[in-house]
Amino acid sequence: MTNASGGTLRRRPAQRRSVERVERMLDECAKLLDEVGYEALTTKEVARRAEVPIGTFYQFFPDKHGLVRALALRNLEAFLDRITTRLSTDEPSGWIDLADLAIDEFVAMKRSTPGFGVVDFGEVLAAPGGPALKGTDRMLDAALENNIVVADRLRAVTVELLGAPADPALDRALVVAVEAADAVLKLAFRTLPEGDPELIAECKRLVRRYLSDHLA
Q: What is the pLDDT of residues 64-75, one digit of tens each?
A: 999 999 999 999
- Position 4 pLDDT exceeds 50: no
Residue 3 per-residue DSSP state? G
| Domains along the chain with CATH numbers | 3-215 (1.10.357.10)
- Among the ranges given (22-36, 76-90, 161-175), the one the predictor scored with the smallest mean pLDDT: 161-175
> How many whole angstroms separate alpha carbon 117 and alpha carbon 129?
8
pLDDT at 23 (0 to 100): 96
How far separated are the first and last CA of the chain, in Å rounded? 37
> How many whole angstroms separate alpha carbon 175 and alpha carbon 116?
21
- Among the ranges given (9-23, 29-43, 90-104, 202-216), the one the predictor scored with the smallest mean pLDDT: 9-23
24-69 tens-digit pLDDT: 999 999 999 999 999 999 999 999 999 999 999 999 999 999 999 9
pLDDT at 3 (0 to 100): 40
